[in-house]
Amino acid sequence: MTLTTKSEWKSFGGTLSVHEHESKVTGTPMTFAVYSPPGDGPFPVLWYLSGLTCNWSNVMEKSGLQRIASELGLMIIAPDTSPRGDNVANDDAYDLGQGAGFYLSATQEPWAQHYKMDEYILSELTRLVAKNFNGDMERQGVFGHSMGGHGAITFALKNPDHFKSCSAFSPITSPSVVPWGEKAFIAYLGKDKSAWAAYDATELVRSGHTTEAHILIDTGLADDFREVHLKPEIFKGVCEAAGQKLTSRLQEGYDHSYYFVATFMEDHLRWHAEALK
Amino acid sequence: MTLTTKSEWKSFGGTLSVHEHESKVTGTPMTFAVYSPPGDGPFPVLWYLSGLTCNWSNVMEKSGLQRIASELGLMIIAPDTSPRGDNVANDDAYDLGQGAGFYLSATQEPWAQHYKMDEYILSELTRLVAKNFNGDMERQGVFGHSMGGHGAITFALKNPDHFKSCSAFSPITSPSVVPWGEKAFIAYLGKDKSAWAAYDATELVRSGHTTEAHILIDTGLADDFREVHLKPEIFKGVCEAAGQKLTSRLQEGYDHSYYFVATFMEDHLRWHAEALK
């Protein structure tokens, strides 16, 4: 697995770098970013999964995470949100196809060939990071925003030994019953809803998947997507019923943007650092 | 002067807002952003002048200034870098025309009609901010990045009573002798170099313009533009000769990007807050 470094910047004493490699899982070139804090490591490894339309750059440019990751000694990995390329299936809508991989393995055409973001991140990219960067792979956490917040929660619930910490900014939490999720699941997984439960955070908790990680969720009360797509109250209910530790906060006046993510990034990174120390 | 609010976000407890108005000075609609920290004010007013190709969004999205401005109680104003529009003169190059106003009043065609960014900011936009936001106009500072760092220094040197603090990230400091500056000055001011001195920070200090503000400059040692376009050593020399207070730092490993600006933003905001308190 050859890694090509595309860009590198010094930032808050550490190094932000962007890398490309040929993925066997997605069958495409894939790009991801790594923030390595100053010091010798090995560092706890925190995966950030981005939301619809995003790639590595949104969180690295807009969230200010480098300042806090530098202080706390956290390595942050930001994968892309889907396979990309002229030969990769796509859709004109922002919420399907390239930029909208939903962190699952598609079973339906035309998506099944390349759209395997869960397998890609959890196996191939994890091995590649372990081999090339000074991360402590026994101390991994996962977080994300919106579609990626949901990806983070499902990753943590399905891989409780792999991820010791989990949090999310304004995540989708019950995709099977909201428009963003229904559209993506029908396209990627087909109309048979029995295939959806394995990628639905609410259904996972209902069916007994829990993690010892105490999940932190922040959602803005001024988030236009909250009532239609995010529905944090549903997930809170199933976690309470299942005994899954969860702190789900509603933040007055904040919307879905990175201005919101940036405001609460320090809280989230300290939450992970405490769990991963 | 009617102000139309185009966007508004809560950020670090304060409010980031973007506004448009019809400018009599530039003869175009102009857009600017304001970050108002939480609290009642009136707040010291700090002007941020952006670099080539930028508008209000670069610093507001990428520098993380809201966190520190919120803590310190600073109001930040981010004007655009030029007039814009289909009827406004432009050039295909990134370093001339729209996005590259150089904070001066052009005297040459086709620029003279609309390109008056110094007059626009110092008179019209300042009055508009004073009227519509809760700033303490007796406590104003100015800073900026690259072309805007130079704009900030010239604003402070030419208006020492107006601006009580000044700093810059990787500023151009001697535009008359570097390619970016020569190209812009020939286009906007003409080939007669006697007209350039009023817009050249180095020439201003040489000719006796100083400010009681202690100027802070940070420049990255890995900045690809440093040796050709920025030349901080020339400005340092004239300031020493003229007794202008200046702290000019070279930062190991940092380039010209907002990853650099973000890293040192806290230093700069504390520098201004101390001077404006």
Say what the ipTM of the complex is.
0.95
Here the tokens at position B2 are 């009617």
Confidence of residue B194 (pLDDT cuts 50, 70, 90): very high
Q: Name the domain count of chain B.
A: 1
What is the pTM assigned to this prediction?
A: 0.96
Q: Which residues of chain A have pLDDT under 50?
A: none
Q: Specify the length of chain B in residues.
A: 277
Strand (E) or helix (H) holding B46: strand B43-49
Task: Give the closest-approach CA distance of B259 to chain A in angstroms.
Answer: 5
Percent of chain A with pLDDT over 90: 99
Spatial separation of the C-alpha atoms in residues A124 and A103, rounded to whole Å: 14
CA–CA–CA angle A51, A15, A18 (5° rounding): 50
What CATH number is given to the structural domain containing B28? 3.40.50.1820
Q: pLDDT by residue (tens digit) across B116-138? A: 999 999 999 999 999 999 999 99
Q: pLDDT by residue (tens digit) across A177-209? A: 999 999 999 999 999 999 999 999 999 999 999
DSSP labels, B79-94: E-SS--STTS---SST
Mean pLDDT of chain B: 98
What pLDDT was estimated at residue A165?
98
Here the tokens at position A224 are 């236009």
Question: Which residues is B9 bridged to in the sheet?
Answer: B16
Best A63, A255, A263 member to test B by mutation, with max B CBs in 10 Å, is: A263
Is the CB of residue B143 less than 8 Å from the CB of residue B152? Answer: yes
- Cβ-Cβ contacts under 8 Å for B140 (sequence gap 6 or more): B44, B45, B46, B47, B162, B163, B164, B276
Q: Nearest-CA neighbor of B76 among B36, B18, B42?
A: B36
Spatial separation of the C-alpha atoms in residues A77 and B30, rounded to whole Å: 39
Confidence of residue B54 (pLDDT cuts 50, 70, 90): very high
Mean pLDDT of chain A: 98
- Cβ-Cβ contacts under 8 Å for B138 (sequence gap 6 or more): none
Is the backbone peptide bond immediately before A179 cis, with ω within 30 degrees of 0? no
Q: pLDDT by residue (tens digit) across A202-249? A: 999 999 999 999 999 999 999 999 999 999 999 999 999 999 999 999
* Chain B residue nearest residue A256, CA to CA: B9
The one-letter code for the residue type at A193 is: K
Under DSSP, is residue B238 helix (H, G, I), strand (E, B) or coil? helix
B146 is catalytic: yes
Is the CB of residue B141 less than 8 Å from the CB of residue B275? Answer: yes
Chain B neighbors of A17, CB-CB under 8 A: none
Q: Dihedral of the CA atoms B123, B124, B128, B131 (nearest 10)? A: 50
Sole residue written with tokens 């960067």: A133
The alpha carbon of A266 is separated from its chain's Cα centroid by a whole number of angstroms, namely 17
Using alpha carbons only, how large is chain A's radius of gyration in Å?
Answer: 17
Spatial separation of the C-alpha atoms in residues B220 and B233, rounded to whole Å: 13
Task: Give the closest-approach CA distance of A259 to chain B in angstroms.
Answer: 5
Q: Do B262 and A13 touch (CB under 8 A)?
A: no
Here the tokens at position B42 are 């009136």
Say whether residue B10 is in contact with chain A using an 8 A CB cutoff. yes
DSSP 8-class letter at B159: -
Say whether residue A11 is in contact with chain B using an 8 A CB cutoff. yes
Q: Edge-to-edge, what's the strand order for the sheet holding A135-145?
A: A4-11, A14-22, A29-36, A75-78, A43-49, A135-145, A165-169, A215-220, A246-251
What pLDDT was estimated at residue B37?
98
Asked if pLDDT for residue B163 goes beyond 90, the answer is yes
Strand (E) or helix (H) holding B47: strand B43-49
- Across the range B39-52, mean pLDDT stands at 97
Say whether residue B16 is in contact with chain A using an 8 A CB cutoff. yes
Under DSSP, is residue B246 helix (H, G, I), strand (E, B) or coil? strand
The one-letter code for the residue type at B126 is: T
Confidence of residue B93 (pLDDT cuts 50, 70, 90): very high
Q: Do A255 and B222 touch (CB under 8 A)?
A: no
Q: Among A64, A220, A260, whose Cβ lies nearest the Cβ of B262? A: A64
Say whether residue A67 is in contact with chain B using an 8 A CB cutoff. yes
What pLDDT was estimated at residue B23?
98
Q: Do A11 and B66 touch (CB under 8 A)?
A: no
Q: Nearest-CA neighbor of B147 among B55, B239, B62, B233?
A: B55
Spatial separation of the C-alpha atoms in residues B59 and B33, rounded to whole Å: 10
- Cβ-Cβ contacts under 8 Å for A92 (sequence gap 6 or more): none
Q: Do B11 and A67 touch (CB under 8 A)?
A: no
Percent of chain B with pLDDT over 90: 99
Q: pLDDT by residue (tens digit) across B4-27? A: 999 999 999 999 999 999 999 999
Using alpha carbons only, how large is chain B's radius of gyration in Å?
Answer: 17
Q: Which of A23, A170, A223, A268 is catalytic?
A: A223
Using CB atoms within 10 Å of the CB of residue A192, give its burial: 0 to 12 exposed, 13 to 18 middle, 19+ buried: exposed
Here the tokens at position A9 are 């910047």
A222 φ, ψ to 5°? -100, 20
Using CB atoms within 10 Å of the CB of residue A109, give its burial: 0 to 12 exposed, 13 to 18 middle, 19+ buried: exposed
b/e per residue, A57-70, with b = 16+ CB within 10 A? ebbbbbbbbbbbbb
Question: Which residues is B247 bridged to in the sheet?
Answer: B216
CA distances in angstroms from B173 to A158, B49, B228, B229, listed in the order given: 56, 14, 11, 8
Structural domain boundaries enclosing B10: 4-276
Best B7, B8, B10, B76 member to test A by mutation, with max A CBs in 10 Å, is: B10
Q: Among A9, A12, A262, whose Cβ lies nearest the Cβ of B257? A: A9
Q: Do B67 and A259 touch (CB under 8 A)?
A: no
Chain B neighbors of A33, CB-CB under 8 A: none
Say whether residue B257 is in contact with chain A using an 8 A CB cutoff. yes
DSSP 8-class letter at B193: G
Spatial separation of the C-alpha atoms in residues A88 and A46, rounded to whole Å: 28
CB atoms under 10 Å from CB of B23, counted, come to 20
What pLDDT was estimated at residue B16?
98
Q: Which of B145, B150, B209, B256 is catalytic?
A: B256
Q: Among A10, A13, A222, whose Cβ lies nearest the Cβ of B10? A: A222
Asked if pLDDT for residue B114 goes beyond 80, the answer is yes
* Chain B residue nearest residue A62, CA to CA: B62
Q: Edge-to-edge, what's the strand order for the sheet holding B43-49?
A: B4-11, B14-22, B29-36, B75-79, B43-49, B135-145, B165-169, B215-220, B246-251
Is the CB of residue B216 less than 8 Å from the CB of residue B247? Answer: yes
What pLDDT was estimated at residue A148?
98
Sole residue written with tokens 């507001």: B60
